[in-house]
């Protein structure tokens, strides 16, 4: 993909910055972000002539619209969201506003360009499948979850955004694709991800904290594999109007075993302790990626050991710098 104008909302985050690094080789990039989380500092993006950084709130429709009209993007990748369990529990109202109204704002801002926009990628979440999600596929029942538990404001708001995005495809012909990331990790991660937390502590020989009994099951997908999945969504017309689980079922492990594995791979002296959790948790999350495999040719290449080795190497390098 070359010579495209690509606008990324929330592009300064972990996934966004890695995606921009890849796409900025041959395209013009505009990152629209509040910069509350900034992974761009770990990249060379800020110094590139073909990369523009715009500080803006996804809830500020008038400013967002002005930026869209001036840039006239060929492709929109919508990553802007409130995420991370601690943040979501503290800010349930803002979570729903940013994830729902923010998605509406960017869809409205580009609606008049529906015929010329080549792709609108909406980032959802694997959490739409609820507490127990084993080999769930894109047509599996999504879970609205009980009202009153702040954690579910995230999944419900993301699910609403999915419906909204698909509605713009059906009603206005906007070429939309929804992706549901399943536990992405790797170099450059910021925020509250378990691997990020475990690795950061392991390389300093600090205590690694596992919340609950450590029996929660996750499937971990290395960032390079995930970005390959996004590129396939951008390049393959079969993706339009569809949603895709993007993850790696072969990277499945309990959280307790993950802590042990990180400690082993990092050759760390960290102590692993188990602490109570004060929030509702997802106990089981393993995707089926058959749709992405068959329709897009998606094929994850990194097993968990290979991905952890590369991740730990990067964190050590950053620590030494």
Verify whether residue 185 is a known catalytic residue.
no
Q: Give the mean model confidence (pLDDT) for residues 73-101.
A: 93
d(CA 181, CA 246): 5
What's the whole-number average pLDDT of the chain?
94
In degrees, to the nearest 5, what angle opens at C-alpha 191 toward C-alphas 41 and 144?
Answer: 140
DSSP secondary structure letter of residue 142: P
Q: How far is CA 94 from CA 81, 89, 146, in A?
A: 10, 10, 19
- Residue 254, classed as helix, strand or coil, is strand
What is the CATH superfamily name and number for domain 5-183+222-247+287-300?
Answer: NAD(P)-binding Rossmann-like Domain (3.40.50.720)
The residue from 32, 154, 169, 315 that is catalytic is: 154
Give me 52's structure tokens.
Answer: 């523009």
pLDDT computed for residue 321 by the predictor? 66
Q: Directed axis angle between helix 102-110 and helix 61-71, to 10°?
A: 40
**pLDDT value at 36 more than 90:** no
Do the Cβ atoms of 248 and 300 come closer than 8 Å? Answer: yes
The contacts of residue 244 (CB under 8 Å, 6+ apart) are 138, 177, 178, 179, 180, 229, 233, 289, 291, 292, 295, 296, 298
Rg of the chain, C-alpha, whole Å: 19
- Tokens 């990180």 -> residue: 262
In degrees, to the nearest 5, what angle opens at C-alpha 290 toward C-alphas 284 and 292?
Answer: 105
Do the Cβ atoms of 266 and 203 come closer than 8 Å? Answer: yes
What percentage of residues in the chain have a pLDDT greater than 90? 81
Q: How far is CA 181 from CA 56, 141, 243, 247, 267, in A?
A: 24, 17, 11, 6, 29
pLDDT computed for residue 143 by the predictor? 78
Closest CA to 14 of 192, 155, 182, 220: 192
d(CA 195, CA 254): 12
Domains 5-183+222-247+287-300 and 194-216+251-285+309-320 belong to one CATH topology:
no
**pLDDT value at 223 more than 90:** yes
Sign of CA dihedral 276, 95, 194, 143: positive
Do the Cβ atoms of 121 and 230 come closer than 8 Å? Answer: yes
**pLDDT value at 65 more than 90:** yes
Q: Parse the chain into domains and list their residue ranges.
A: 5-183+222-247+287-300, 194-216+251-285+309-320
| CATH code assigned to 194-216+251-285+309-320 | 3.90.25.10
Q: Give the mean model confidence (pLDDT) for residues 71-85.
A: 93
**pLDDT value at 227 more than 80:** yes
């Amino acid at each position: 993909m070359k010579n495209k104008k690509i606008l990324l909302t929330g592009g300064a985050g972990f996934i966004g910055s890695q995606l921009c690094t890849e796409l900025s080789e041959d395209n013009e990039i505009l990152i629209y972000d509040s910069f509350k989380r900034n992974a761009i500092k770990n990249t060379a993006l800020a110094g590139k002539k073909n990369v523009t950084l715009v500080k803006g709130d996804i809830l500020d429709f008038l400013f967002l619209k002005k930026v869209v009209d001036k840039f006239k993007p060929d492709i929109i990748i919508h990553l802007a969201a409130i995420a991370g369990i601690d943040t979501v529990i503290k800010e349930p109202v803002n979570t729903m506003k940013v994830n729902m109204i923010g998605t509406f704002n960017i869809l409205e801002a580009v609606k008049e360009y529906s015929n010329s926009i080549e792709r609108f990628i909406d980032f959802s979440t694997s959490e739409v499948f609820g507490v127990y999600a084993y080999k769930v596929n894109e047509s599996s029942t999504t879970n609205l979850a009980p009202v009153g538990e702040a954690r579910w404001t995230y999944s419900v708001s993301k699910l609403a955004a999915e419906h909204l995005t698909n509605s713009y495809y059906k009603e206005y012909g906007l070429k939309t694709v929804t992706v549901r990331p399943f536990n992405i990790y790797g170099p450059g991660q910021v925020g509250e991800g378990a691997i990020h937390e475990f690795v950061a502590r392991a390389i300093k020989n600090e205590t690694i904290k596992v919340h609950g009994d450590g029996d929660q099951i996750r499937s971990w997908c290395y960032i390079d594999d995930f970005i390959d999945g996004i590129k396939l969504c951008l390049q393959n017309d079969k993706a339009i109007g569809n949603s895709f689980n993007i993850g790696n079922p072969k990277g499945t492990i309990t959280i307790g075993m993950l802590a042990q594995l990180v400690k082993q791979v990092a050759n760390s002296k960290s102590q692993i302790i188990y602490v109570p959790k004060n929030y509702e948790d997802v106990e089981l999350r393993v995707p089926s990626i058959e749709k992405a495999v068959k329709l897009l040719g998606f094929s994850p290449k990194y097993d968990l050991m290979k991905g952890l080795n590369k991740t730990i190497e990067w964190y050590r390098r950053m620590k030494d710098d």
